[in-house]
Amino acid sequence: MDKIACLDVFLVEPSHTQQIIIKQRLQNSGIEQVTCVSSGGEMLEHLRHAKPDLIISSMYLPDMTGVDLIHEIRKDSESYEMVFLLISSETNIKYLEPIRQAGAIAILPKPFSQRELDTALNASLDYLHPKPVDLEHFDVEDLHVLLVDDSEFSRKYITKVLNNIGIEHISCAADGKQALRMFQEHYFDLVVTDFNMPEMDGLQLVRAIRGDDQQISSVPILMVTSEQNQNRLAAIEKAGVSAVLDKPFEPMSIKHLIAQLLG
């Protein structure tokens, strides 16, 4: 049986019409098991008794926002086994950024295309049924990764994604200053960093690492960021970052990038 068809989906959407539309789109993708609720509270109550594969939520619910909901869900360490997908007409970065930081698999617009939904569902499968990355010159289990992000939710989510592809040795830092100290004291095969952080941001961290005259300054640096400003992105690339990945990202994307950077 198709793995997508086996996905157990919880949908929280206050509009009955939107529930019907989204459920129909999911059925078009082969999914039959969809539980619909109208509020965040109902969803959280359902989660006391069941652990779905995928939670799909609107941004604005009667009792909370999608941000509130994903934060409540992510308080439970086991919830990182569940995938969160936001469907919203919201475009303001201020409201979408917390969703990105909390580890949503994707953010789909309203209305969304069947192709966009299928891409998000395939990304969900990659997360739920991962395969280790295949590196020609490395044993992936021996890789040492430095993960830098000021969001605890984001660190946990990215750690889960890295674990899923076989990377076990992950050291975490909450900002660039802490990361730089750790980088200077230990050897890392790869640095994965956010851009917008307090104390020292990702750009400053990249510049500090690339300014190191030791051989380790050539370590690959992958920046995972929701930054959209083209001037800032250009500065990041100029500073010597090895690759840039958008938040939210598909797990397969980070797998391919790591294979390129280290393989």
> How buried is 253 (Cβ within 10 angstroms: 0-12 exposed, 13-18 middle, 19+ buried)?
middle
What per-residue confidence (pLDDT) applies to 225? Answer: 86
Query: pLDDT tier at 215 (50, 70, 90 boundaries)?
Result: very low
> Distances in Å between the alpha carbon of 242 and those of 144, 184, 219, 237, 257?
17, 19, 9, 8, 9
Average pLDDT over residues 18-24: 97
What per-residue confidence (pLDDT) applies to 159? Answer: 94
**Claim to verify: residue 98 and residue 166 sit in the same structural domain:** no
Instruction: Please calculate the CA angle 213-219-222 and round it to the nearest 5 degrees.
Output: 130
What per-residue confidence (pLDDT) applies to 62? Answer: 98
Domain boundary among 90, 106, 128: 128
Write the pLDDT tens digit of every residue in 86-113: 999 999 988 999 999 888 999 999 999 9
What per-residue confidence (pLDDT) applies to 212? Answer: 61
What per-residue confidence (pLDDT) applies to 261? Answer: 87
Write the pLDDT tens digit of every residue in 118-165: 999 999 999 999 988 877 777 888 899 999 999 999 999 999 999 998
Write the pLDDT tens digit of every residue in 190-201: 999 999 899 899
Taking the CA of residue 103 as centre, how many other CA atoms within 13 Å lie in the half-sphere pointing to its CB? 30
pLDDT at 21 over 60: yes
**Claim to verify: residue 57 and residue 150 sit in the same structural domain:** no
Amino acid of residue 176: G
Domain boundary among 100, 128, 156: 128
Q: In the chain, which residue ranges form alpha helices assigned H by DSSP?
A: 16-28, 40-47, 66-74, 93-101, 114-128, 152-164, 176-185, 202-210, 230-239, 251-262
Which region among 16-25, 31-40, 150-159, 214-223 has the lowest average model confidence (pLDDT)?
Answer: 214-223
pLDDT at 259 over 60: yes
Average pLDDT over residues 112-116: 96
What is the residue range of 106's domain? 4-128
What per-residue confidence (pLDDT) applies to 148? Answer: 98
- Nearest of 31, 40, 213, 204 to residue 120 by alpha carbon: 31
Average pLDDT over residues 222-250: 87
In a domain, 46, yes or no: yes
Lookup: tokens for 60: 């604005």
Domain boundary among 98, 128, 158: 128
Which region among 18-22, 84-88, 117-121, 246-250 has the lowest average model confidence (pLDDT)?
Answer: 246-250
Higher pLDDT, 208 or 232: 208
d(CA 57, CA 72): 13
Number of domains in the chain: 2
d(CA 176, CA 195): 9
| Mean pLDDT for the chain overall | 91
β-partners of residue 55 are 10, 84
> Distances in Å between the alpha carbon of 216 and those of 137, 174, 211, 237?
18, 21, 10, 19
Higher pLDDT, 50 or 215: 50
What per-residue confidence (pLDDT) applies to 133? Answer: 81
Q: What is the dihedral of CA 124, 130, 135, 140, to 10 degrees?
A: 120
The CATH code of the domain that includes 9 is 3.40.50.2300
In a domain, 253, yes or no: yes
**Claim to verify: residue 14 and residue 120 sit in the same structural domain:** yes
Percent of the chain with pLDDT over 90: 69
Preceding peptide of 248 cis, ω within 30°: yes
In a domain, 133, yes or no: no
d(CA 40, CA 42): 5
Lookup: tokens for 90: 């919201």
Q: How far apart are the two ends of the chain, measured CA to CA in Å? A: 33
